[in-house]
Amino acid sequence: MTLPSLFVAHGSPMLALEDHEYVRFLQDISQQFRTPKAIVLFSAHWDTPDQSMTVDETHSTMHDFYGFPEEMYKLNYPAAGDLRLNAVIDGIFKQKNLHYVPIEGRGLDHGAWVILQKMYPEANIPVIELSVDSKRSPKEQYDIGSMLAELRKEDVLVIASGGLVHNLRKLNDSPQPDAWAVEFDNWIVEQLEQWDLRTLFEYEHKAPHAEQAVPRYAVEHFIPLFYAMGAADDDRTAKRLFQDYQYGNLSLNCWMFGS
């Protein structure tokens, strides 16, 4: 059975220390499919014009945030890299004529390790992190993800980490989710369940409240969705596994594509 690809919201960095329903969901999600041999992860916190890829035997842990409790800066996720898988991806990108840049010594940013430390706390699965490019079109982002679809047949789990509604300027202390955020997420649900790429690729113009949900300064958090979908282009099925909100509208959701 082929592994799925996942879109996983990483929320606030504080997710690393929190204990709530979404955290417990992430801790249990690995029960839904077999343990992968490796993980390839697209992170919203690595936005580059050239496709980039970590090429390390071991990863350091980036604390790429500020103003958080001191305990956050002591957390470590010492996952290994996978140079053999790096070589496989290198071959795929070259075959598909995708220029990419290998990066040594970068480490895993919090878009990667915060969710991985919940999903695979023992850090015993090799990880390769890939960048996203918010300047590319949704179709280009989808197509890059699709280049890696074959890896899922080799027990490689493809994850894209971001956030469908991610507007830090709109956060509030409301106990109920803002109606505009829910309406936007529900529109996404409809398009994903129908795998309506034409409509979804035009989300900026067609989705309700798109400017609030995906502000210009935070597009990189939404686009990992397209990379995750592309990685399941050979099996165009979508299933929402979790949906909740923090701070009024920060969307905590997880989608599984393919099977």
Bridge partner list, 47: 132
pLDDT at 192: 98
Q: Which of 145, 172, 152, 177 is nearest to 243 (CA)?
A: 177
State mean pLDDT over 88-99. Answer: 98
Cα–Cα distance, 255 to 229 (Å, whole number): 9
- Does residue 141 have a pLDDT over 80? yes
Provide the 10 A C-beta neighbour count for residue 65: 15
**What does the pLDDT average to over 140-167?**
98
pLDDT of 198 reads 98
Packing angle of the helix pair 21-28, 110-119 (nearest 10 deg): 70
Helices and strands of the chain, counted as H and E runs: 10, 8
Mean pLDDT of 145-167: 98
Residue 108 DSSP code: B
| Whether residue 1 has pLDDT greater than 90 | no
User: What number is the average pLDDT over the span 133-138?
Assistant: 98
The total of structural domains in the chain comes to: 1
The Cα angle at residue 130 between residues 125 and 131, in degrees rounded to 5: 150
pLDDT of residue 259: 76
Question: Residue 192 is part of a domain; what is its CATH number?
Answer: 3.40.830.10
Give the predicted TM-score (pTM) of the model: 0.98
- Per the prediction, the chain carries an average pLDDT of 97
Apex 4 CA angle, 214 and 194, nearest 5: 55
Structural domain including 61 reads: 5-257
The 10s digit of each residue's pLDDT in 23-57 is 999 999 989 999 999 999 999 999 999 999 999 99
pLDDT digits (tens, 9 = 90+) for 185-212: 999 999 999 999 999 999 999 999 999 9
Q: What is the mean pLDDT of residues 65-90?
A: 97
Nearest-CA neighbor of 125 among 256, 52, 34, 64? 34
Average the pLDDT over 137-142 and give the result.
98
